Structure 1
């Protein structure tokens, strides 16, 4: 078993419950960790035998481009796509952070984290 992490994917998106968030947008940070059997790729040196982090980055950017009210919804869509498109993925954790959220205070970011194991 092994893990591949794609850390600090920076995206500008339009998530949130407020109407203004859908118009103005905000900066987001996404971190993804995928657990999989990495032994075959360690032996073969073949991209098809591992978790392609370019694909993970594309999944994140695609799903972040679809507006949602809740960050949890976006994170779950990312996990669903990982399990649909990365056959060797056994588990995934996705953190979505909204940078400088509009909550009436000086807050660096708000982060949600969802972890799931393949059924």
Structure 2
């Protein structure tokens, strides 16, 4: 079963998480979500695999700059997050029906 990573190469935690995967011999599918954001349905599926709400993976500083808030309706927040993908916490690593947030990067070890 393959592993995918929602990756931002400019983020140190994302780079560290990718390095852990590679050190374990895993070559993940890299999703450059800043360039190609997920659709609403794709993002909802990722949230389900994480077991988290959109508010739980919202980057606070970036959200404030984009006018998004954890208090928003889930659908509106998802729409805002995919329109402004820098507001999505990263990295997110997915394997099958499970996903983890790479904060800390060692969380990814649960999937390998």
Larger Rg: 1
Query: The TM-score by the shorter chain falls in which range?
Result: under 0.3
TM-score after normalising by structure 2: 0.26
Relative contact order, CA 8 A, sep 6+: which one is greater? Answer: 2
Name the one with the larger helix percent.
2
TM-score (normalizing by structure 1): 0.25
